[in-house]
Structure 1
Amino acid sequence: MQEFTKFFIEYSESFLTGNAAEDQMIILKRDHCTAVSGLALELMQSVSACPADWRAAELGGLLHDIGRFRQYRQYRTFSDARSENHAKLSVEVIEELKITEKLPPQEQRMILKTVARHNLPKLPAEPETRQRLLDQVVRDADKIDIYNIVLDYYERPELHQSVALDLPDLPQISDEVIAALSAKQSVNMRALATLNDFKLCQLAWVYDLNLFRSRRIFAERNYIERMCKLIPDFSGFGNIRKQLNDFLNGDDSQ
């Protein structure tokens, strides 16, 4: 992995311009990818004893957002809605630069598929396979580190607004967002009108966590309570918080 990590760091730093505000965004994504890589390895080791699975998880996490650097250079945003699908961009970069070409063909295909699907609202219903497990691991690792980033942003709002999809920081909360979260469903990104909507959307990510270890990390880091403290109270919010914590603290075979 050291060879891949060295390449990734050098590649990401080739996008640094000397402009402090822009470089902050590049460094943010560089650090996110390396953090997701480490988390993905930890999660995979909690469910698989296969070293090949560990490597695929570590590398899938490292490369899942490698297209973000081109995205930001070209569009000056991390919003896919205002630019293009960053997962697709990431696959294009991996293939163009032949980053995984030294790996066994099956492992290459698995990593590319995981990168392509890591930002889907939901994974398609499929049998339990090594591919599906890799998808689940990288998606969970991504969410865990994104929570770390966005909570730091919300608690230190002087950071760049691109972290929050450029949404206005207004007190309003959309009924559609509340309804989806109350029903333990994913929130439609198109329904997001304010920063508070986005925070509630991120709370709903909890229900998409796949692994027991992922839920334990969320609970250990107190992510839910920290996020809830940043959202204005509304009718039914107490029940939503209870549902979220009950889900995190539930038992699971994984």
Structure 2
Amino acid sequence: MTSDASAAAIPSTSADRLTAVVTGASSGIGRASARRLRADGWRVLAVARREDRLATLAAETGCETLVADVTEDEDVARLVERVDELFDGRVNAVVNIAGGAFGQEAVDAADLDAWQRMYSTNVLGTARVTRELLPALRASGRGDILVLSSTAAQGAYEGGAGYNAAKAGEHMVASALRLELAGEPIRVIEIAPGMVRTEEFSLVRLGDKERADKVYDGVENPLSADDCADVVSYALNAPHHVNLDLVTIRPLAQAAQHKVARHVGL
């Protein structure tokens, strides 16, 4: 989804290169997005909880890294300090990808600790990182806040209430921010993927590889992390007067949240 125009929009000198903070960068869409932005010429600070994975990403891409948990105030304070150190207190894009789903129980069997964890990561984590880095976005003169929500924010499904609620909350944070920042040179971009097959999402959610694999049984070409990173790249590299308010992306096999074409036996 890159173009000559978007590539030309990225300054070529090291001092003027665009800068991004990417959370959730140790796996899946976060890792793919950090890699893609580095390939596009951005300076990237990759943030996640797992130091070993960040070290591998840094060796592969040359990105900067910070081990931090977006649900912890102290960790996000260290993130601000790292942005000051690396980027002189200016950042062009805050890419909020840290999140996740835990469990798939009906409401009458809800694990409320899991619900709290989803809200803390998806909603409060995004709000915390964004709030603390807004001064750096303003200082850049060309800022972007990108929020990775989900089609789970757009429609409920059985067993999804906790995740539906968390992602709907994240969607509302992005929507309110867009109104609050109107008139400032800061875009608010929301990308809502449907069925994406990554190495960890369903495994973490369901806790069992066999159950996780069944989510994708018979589905031809579910989205990949790289597919989503393509959209992240396009949105951030588009001319800055172009704002992709909300992009919903699904694999062709998924017509809606509840409608997936499965070719059993293939």
**TM-score greater than 0.5 by the shorter chain:** no
Query: Which protein, 1 or 2, shows the higher relative CO under an 8 Å CA cutoff with sep ≥ 6?
Result: 2
More strand by share: 2
Q: Which has more helix, going by share of residues?
A: 1
The normalised TM-score by structure 1 is 0.31
TM-score (ref. length: structure 2): 0.30
